[in-house]
């Protein structure tokens, strides 16, 4: 089993990914995989894709994997529901991506959110081999979230400090240039597309020392020309289909994950 003390650089994991035999992912919609639908109707996402890469990297091809993430979850609920389960499973690897939904809320303090995040990291590192921490995305190209860029950057600085203190490798999503392209995002503009999730999985695999053939920052092909009328029509469709329902849920105090449970609550073999 990997040990935190073995990590030399919090941005990369020196121990080869082949040493990871079990993996638990915790978080919200990002880790659940929203925006990357599978053939059976469930979401795939970067964590599922990473699990396959880790299994392929192992000499025996065997990896046990759990995904505890649920869309819409705030940090406190993730800490109350998912962190204890991850501690109970005690896998070789935990990926911990949380706090983003808190940062989106008006009036939340990134300093306070980071303090609660650190308490969870402390619990996870005591039980797990390695805890990979993910930063937030750079939202400069997301109209709805552009005004939160400074708040997200502050939170990211705290996450890196936490990673330094606990020897955690860092999945730096802020610097992932490829997700600045609109094609990295799904139709709702809040969740990654299938290709966006794939690129994050490739970046995570590299951080964990797994050799992968793909490049997470591979340039996108040239885009088709879009007129101003095309852009305006897309914006109207997006507002009607996604923005208005999202605002409605917020006003009603509802969450997209109110009736959703973890898609993979146990450590099961990856096929």
pLDDT tens readout for residues 74-94: 999 999 999 999 999 999 999
Q: Which residues contact 131 (CB under 8 A, 6 or more apart)?
A: 4, 93, 94, 95, 96, 121, 124, 125, 166, 168
What residues pair up with 185 in beta bridges, in sequence order?
A: 192
Check whether 71 has a pLDDT greater than 50. Answer: yes
* Per-residue pLDDT tens over the stretch 153-170: 999 999 999 999 999 999
Range 43-46, long-range pairs (CB < 8 A, 24+ positions): 43/263, 44/194, 44/197, 45/192, 45/197, 46/192, 46/197, 46/198, 46/200, 46/201, 46/204
Q: How many CB atoms lie within 10 A of CB 61?
A: 10
Q: In CATH, what number does 4-216+226-257+261-269 get?
A: 3.40.50.1110
Mean pLDDT of 210-230: 86
This prediction has a pTM of 0.86
Q: In this structure, are residues 265 and 70 in contact, taking their beta carbons and an 8 Å threshold? A: no
Provide the percentage of residues in the chain whose pLDDT is more than 90. 66
Which of 25 and 4 is assigned the larger pLDDT?
25
Report the interhelical angle of 45-57 vs 194-207 (nearest 10°): 40
Per-residue pLDDT, 61: 86
Q: Are strands 130-134 and 170-171 parallel, antiparallel or unpaired?
A: parallel
């Amino acid at each position: 089993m990997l040990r935190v003390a073995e990590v030399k650089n919090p941005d990369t994991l020196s121990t080869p990914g082949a040493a990871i035999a079990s993996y638990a992912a915790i978080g919200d919609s990002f880790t659940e995989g929203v925006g990357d639908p599978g053939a059976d109707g469930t979401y795939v996402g970067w964590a599922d894709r990473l699990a396959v890469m880790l299994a392929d990297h192992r000499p025996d091809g065997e990896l046990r994997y759990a995904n505890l993430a649920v869309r819409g979850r705030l940090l406190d609920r993730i800490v109350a529901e998912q962190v204890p389960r991850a501690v109970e499973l005690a896998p070789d690897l935990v990926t911990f991506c949380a706090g983003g939904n808190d940062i989106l809320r008006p009036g939340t303090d990134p300093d306070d959110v980071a303090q609660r995040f650190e308490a969870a990291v402390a619990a996870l590192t005591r039980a797990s081999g390695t805890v990979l921490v993910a930063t937030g995305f750079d939202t400069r190209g997301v109209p709805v979230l552009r005004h939160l860029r400074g708040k997200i950057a502050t939170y990211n600085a705290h996450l890196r400090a936490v990673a330094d203190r606990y020897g955690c490798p860092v999945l730096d999503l802020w610097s992932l240039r490829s997700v600045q392209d609109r094609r990295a995002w799904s139709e709702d503009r809040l969740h990654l597309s299938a290709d966006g999730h794939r690129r994050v999985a490739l970046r995570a695999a590299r951080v964990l020392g797994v050799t992968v053939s793909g490049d997470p920052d591979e340039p996108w092909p040239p885009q088709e020309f879009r007129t101003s009328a095309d852009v305006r029509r897309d914006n109207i469709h997006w507002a009607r289909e996604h923005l208005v329902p999202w605002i409605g849920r917020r006003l009603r105090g509802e969450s997209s994950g109110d009736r959703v449970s973890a898609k993979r609550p146990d450590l099961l073999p990856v096929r």
